[in-house]
Amino acid sequence: MDKRYEEANKITNIGIIINIILSIAKILAGVIGKSSAIIADGIHSISDVFSSIGVLIGIVISKKPNDDGHNYGHEKAETLAGFCLAITLIVIAFKIGYEGIISLINLNEIQTPSILPLIVAFLSILVKEYQYRITIKVGKSINSKALIADAWHHRSDALSSIAAFLGILGARFGYKILDPLASLIVCICVFKVGIDVLKDTSNELLDASIEKEKESVLIDIVKNTDGVDYISSLKTRKHGPTIYVDIAVAVDPELTVEKGHDIATFVENNIKSNIEHVKKVYVHIDPSIKIHPEDNKYI
């Protein structure tokens, strides 16, 4: 578990440092090169700094062990951080769209920028896309919704830089309308990502069950465990990056309590060994009775 948080902290800290440097570079290039587009993009990068700090806080909190007030641990802090990032992405989408519409209305006020902000915008595209790729890779490998959301925030900044690049390039060639049009396209892309992340994190905060494919694998594992006649009931829920399983299995009613306990232990170990990210399995033992297959969906 410590390795998991070490990877998350490392990639997030790298992101914070890169975003601080990019923010300063973009704003300076915008002021010197007379480009409002790259200045706005620099402000967007500043929001990345704060979002990464939020992810870092969420990861630190989620690492805390169970206590009297939080018997199931603090892992949902990561999901909550991802939820907040989704809201941030949606707000940024509206901001980009609003600025694009304002620019469309006031095309004559767009100044012709120098080549400096064009170069900075191009470098930003490369850096932010690289940040997205390394962050999404780590986020998926450690099953962190907060990191995955932060990765999409990096991607939204890359898209914002593309809009700034096209706008600056268009302005230099006399096609000022490219800037606001590109901004509106970016607005739609960022908004969709924000909604997708919001749905995903909201489901986890509401204790969503695991995916049907993963549940089917889990059912097969339990049904093939020695001593298990059938599954009486099954409930699963996501808890941040971890999974909790509540399952009742039917066994021979003539078995001793000790043997029933052994079967429950086998079920727990089989689930943990074959299903990733399972933190806790609660196994209830029921006496096996004759039951019609239609009366039990797990048979």
What CATH number is given to the structural domain containing 153? 1.20.1510.10
State residue 126's pLDDT score. Answer: 94
Q: What values do phi and psi take at 244, rounded to 5?
A: -115, 140
State residue 294's pLDDT score. Answer: 64
Beta carbons within 10 angstroms of residue 119's beta carbon = 16
pTM check: above 0.75? no
Q: Which of 205, 227, 254 is at the close of a domain?
A: 205
CB–CB of 262/98 below 8 Å? no
> How far is Cα 240 from Cα 98, in angstroms, rounded to an integer?
34
> How far is Cα 137 from Cα 99, in angstroms, rounded to an integer?
32
Do 93 and 184 fall within a single domain?
A: yes
169: nearest Cα among 215, 130, 117, 221 = 117
Do 165 and 248 fall within a single domain?
A: no
CATH assignment of the domain containing 282: 3.30.70.1350
> How far is Cα 298 from Cα 81, in angstroms, rounded to an integer?
36
Q: What residues contact residue 175 under an 8 Å CB cut-off, 6+ apart?
A: none
Do 154 and 248 fall within a single domain?
A: no
Do 191 and 269 fall within a single domain?
A: no
State residue 112's pLDDT score. Answer: 76
Do 185 and 62 fall within a single domain?
A: yes
Q: Which long-range contacts (CB under 8 A, 24 or more apart) does 104-107 make?
A: 104/177, 104/180, 104/181, 107/176, 107/177, 107/180
Q: Which domain holds residue 220?
A: 212-295
State residue 28's pLDDT score. Answer: 93
Q: Which of 162, 183, 205 is at the close of a domain?
A: 205
> How far is Cα 53 from Cα 296, in angstroms, rounded to an integer?
48
Do 191 and 238 fall within a single domain?
A: no
Do 52 and 116 fall within a single domain?
A: yes
Q: Which of 151, 180, 205 is at the close of a domain?
A: 205
State residue 293's pLDDT score. Answer: 61
Do 200 and 217 fall within a single domain?
A: no
Facing residues of 256 across strands? none
Total domains in the fold of the chain: 2
85: nearest Cα among 124, 59, 123, 122 = 59
CB–CB of 30/36 below 8 Å? yes
CB–CB of 161/125 below 8 Å? yes
Do 232 and 159 fall within a single domain?
A: no
Facing residues of 191 across strands? none
Digit-coded pLDDT (tens) for 232-280: 889 998 887 788 999 999 999 888 999 999 999 999 999 998 888 888 8
CB–CB of 283/249 below 8 Å? yes
Do 174 and 238 fall within a single domain?
A: no
Q: What residues contact residue 72 under an 8 Å CB cut-off, 6+ apart?
A: 66, 239, 244
pLDDT tens string for the chain (299 positions)? 567 778 878 888 888 899 899 989 988 988 898 877 787 778 777 877 877 888 778 877 777 777 777 777 777 887 888 888 888 888 888 887 888 788 788 877 777 788 898 899 899 999 999 999 999 998 888 888 778 888 888 888 888 788 888 888 887 888 878 777 777 877 887 788 889 888 888 887 887 788 888 889 999 999 888 889 889 889 998 887 788 999 999 999 888 999 999 999 999 999 998 888 888 899 999 998 877 666 676 66
> How far is Cα 148 from Cα 299, in angstroms, rounded to an integer?
37
Do 64 and 139 fall within a single domain?
A: yes
> How far is Cα 12 from Cα 85, in angstroms, rounded to an integer?
14
Do 270 and 137 fall within a single domain?
A: no
